[in-house]
Amino acid sequence: MSESLVVCNVAEDLVEKLRKFHFHKEMNNASIIMKIHKDKRRVVLDEELEGISPDELKDELPEQQPHFTVYIPYPLCFIFSSPVGHKPEQQMMYAGSKNKLVQRAELTKVFEIRNMEDLTEEWLSDKLGFFH
């Protein structure tokens, strides 16, 4: 599968929300969770969470469905959760749309996770340690 494949567009209001999220001023952890609206073939907002740790975030994400997540107050990072065992069609839609979303939202710290149990404070710190 080509890295430049774009399967779904990104909702304009979501792009604007993500750009503003770069300047999130609250001191607590926050997250924007996104999903693909299959019929519209568009990446849309699923949920916004405030005051959430990586461990709590893990509990909010469906174990069998892919999602895109932007998480802060670490340096802003993008997490593509792609659980093992979901439908190949879903995998293609998410994988093909990831690069477009990252580009449109101007995200630089991009990670993928397959097993949701691995999403912990330690995992995130290890991933972000590469950027320091």
The DSSP code sequence of the chain is --TT---SEE-HHHHHHHHHHTT---SS-EEEEEEEETTTTEEEEEEEEES--HHHHHHHS-TTS-EEEEEESSS-EEEEE--TTS-HHHHHHHHHHHHHHHHHTT---EEEES-GGG-SHHHHHHHHHTT-
Per-residue model confidence (pLDDT) at position 27: 67
Each residue's pLDDT, cut to its tens digit, for the chain (132 residues) gives: 445 555 899 999 999 999 888 877 776 889 999 999 988 999 999 999 999 998 899 888 877 789 999 998 767 899 999 888 778 888 888 988 999 999 999 899 999 998 888 999 899 989 888 665
- Domains of the chain are 9-128 (3.40.20.10)
Per-residue model confidence (pLDDT) at position 1: 43
